[in-house]
Amino acid sequence: MAKDVYEALATHLDTLPAGFPRTESGVEMRILRRLFTPEDAELARHLTVIPEEARVVARRAGIPASEAPGRLDEMDKKGLIMRVPQKDGPPLYMAQQYMLGFWEAQVNRLTPELVRDAREYETTFIKPDHWKKAPQLRTIPVSRSINVQNEVMPYEMAGEFARTKTSIAVSNCICRQGMRLLGKGCDKPEESCFTLGVAADYVAHSGRGRKISSEEALEMFQRADEAGLVLQPDNAKDPFFMCTCCGCCCGILHALKRDPKPASIVTSPFFARLDSSTCKGCGLCTKRCQMDAIRLSDKKSVLDTDRCIGCGLCVSTCPTHSLSLVRKPAAEQARIPKDHIKSVIKVGQARGKLGIGELVTMQLKSKLDRLLTPK
């Protein structure tokens, strides 16, 4: 029975926007067994991306309504699903997809075995063709790399997030934490992943992060630049979170680096430009670049624009100002979804999921379940 319920959960997770692709090795099933008890797995497959009351989930799962809230709250504490508090009325519950979702919620709960499985699964889960159509993250430049000639949108500036969001939280980076657990981590800051708005409230309440002020956030963004971390908010103009990533530990960058032309996959409005005539060949940019886009040749830097993701890390510390950021032509800039929900839907549709018919059916089924469930 345990095997059947994990197979059913894997099938259910594959219907969610980011999917849950299968492997020949079965590593994805090992991940589920490490995180979900058989009872958790059975209950989790009855949640959807639509937040619903515990009584509705209970009816669908065939368990007593009185039992559901406690079990769902416990699963939320484990980071397996999401609890959505309501000002008036009982909390709502919704499914978490694997990434970005219940995997990241395992921060501070990792084991070496789980980390090894996640790294193995990374190559199957992160598909460049899907990512190019609808990435879950985008790259924005560090502030020091932007000059007055650059036209920069508010949603392309990390500082704007810090100044406009009423709630900000910071938590440990699960990627660097995991690699350090395996004895392979780098020395870059671990407390470096940010959530914004209602997502910050959720993370702080869960204990997986702490609230910070706008001023502290700005200081941490500056330290991220100094440490050579790539700023990656979720792919929305009004983002819920922002990662600060390194090419050695970050699962996303690590996967994209394997592609010969990551610049064609990553959503970024900029690319770097190099003036070789003023370059002194100090090599600092080669150390700062997280995508191996710059190398030294004959005591001069050489830039491979096919690998450049426009993060600006090479620009912000170039002592001769030989590197600069240039905005891509309008036709080459990806359209950024308005908010996180629209971004998630776009991710699903890139996989052939969540078409208009599926969305309508899901909403109608949820409404019918609510009507048929006694309060």
Residue 190 near residue 266, CB atoms below 8 Å: no
Residue 136, Cα to own-chain centre: how many angstroms? Answer: 6
- Across the range 254-282, mean pLDDT stands at 94
- State how far the Cα of 338 lies from the Cα of 329, in Å rounded to an integer: 21
DSSP codes, 108-130: T---HHHHHHHHHHHHHH--HHH
Per-residue pLDDT tens digits for 11-21: 999 999 999 99
Of 129-138, 179-188, 239-248, the poorest mean pLDDT is in 129-138
> Which tokens go with 244?
């600060």
Extract the runs of DSSP E, i.e. beta strands, from 155-289.
168-172, 191-196, 209-212, 230-233, 241-245, 270-274
275 pLDDT band, cuts 50/70/90, is: very high
For the cut 80, the answer to whether the pLDDT of residue 3 exceeds it is no
Find, among 304, 303, 305, the residue nearest to 279 by Cα.
303
Please give the pLDDT value at position 196: 97
For the cut 80, the answer to whether the pLDDT of residue 1 exceeds it is no
Q: Which residues of 174-186 are buried (b: 16+ CB within 10 A; e: fewer)?
A: bbbbbbbeeeebb
For the cut 90, the answer to whether the pLDDT of residue 160 exceeds it is yes
Please give the pLDDT value at position 153: 83
186 pLDDT band, cuts 50/70/90, is: very high
Sort strands 294-297 and 300-303 into parallel, antiparallel or unpaired: antiparallel
pTM: 0.93
- Across the range 37-61, mean pLDDT stands at 96
Please give the pLDDT value at position 42: 97
**3-state class (DSSP) for residue 301:** strand
Per-residue pLDDT tens digits for 291-336: 999 999 999 999 999 999 999 999 999 999 999 999 999 999 999 9
Find, among 176, 275, 165, the residue nearest to 218 by Cα.
165
44 pLDDT band, cuts 50/70/90, is: very high
Find, among 132, 99, 104, 144, the residue nearest to 311 by Cα.
144
8 pLDDT band, cuts 50/70/90, is: very high
Q: Between residues 151 and 214, which one has the greater pLDDT?
A: 214
Using alpha carbons only, give the angle 79, 41, 339 rounded to the nearest 5 degrees.
45
- Across the range 183-206, mean pLDDT stands at 96
- Across the range 256-271, mean pLDDT stands at 94
Q: What percent of the chain has pLDDT over 90?
A: 82
Q: Between residues 15 and 371, which one has the greater pLDDT?
A: 15
Give residue limits of the domains in the chain.
2-110, 136-332
368 pLDDT band, cuts 50/70/90, is: confident
CATH class as words, domain 2-110:
mainly alpha
- The neighbour count for residue 132, using CB atoms within 10 Å, is 17
For the cut 60, the answer to whether the pLDDT of residue 205 exceeds it is yes
Q: Please give the DSSP secondary-structure letter assigned to residue 102.
A: I
- Across the range 210-220, mean pLDDT stands at 97
CA quadruple 270, 273, 279, 281: dihedral positive or negative?
Answer: positive
Please give the pLDDT value at position 133: 87
Please give the pLDDT value at position 237: 95
Name residues whose C-beta falls within 8 Å of residue 87's C-beta, 6 or more positions apart in sequence: none
Please give the pLDDT value at position 150: 64
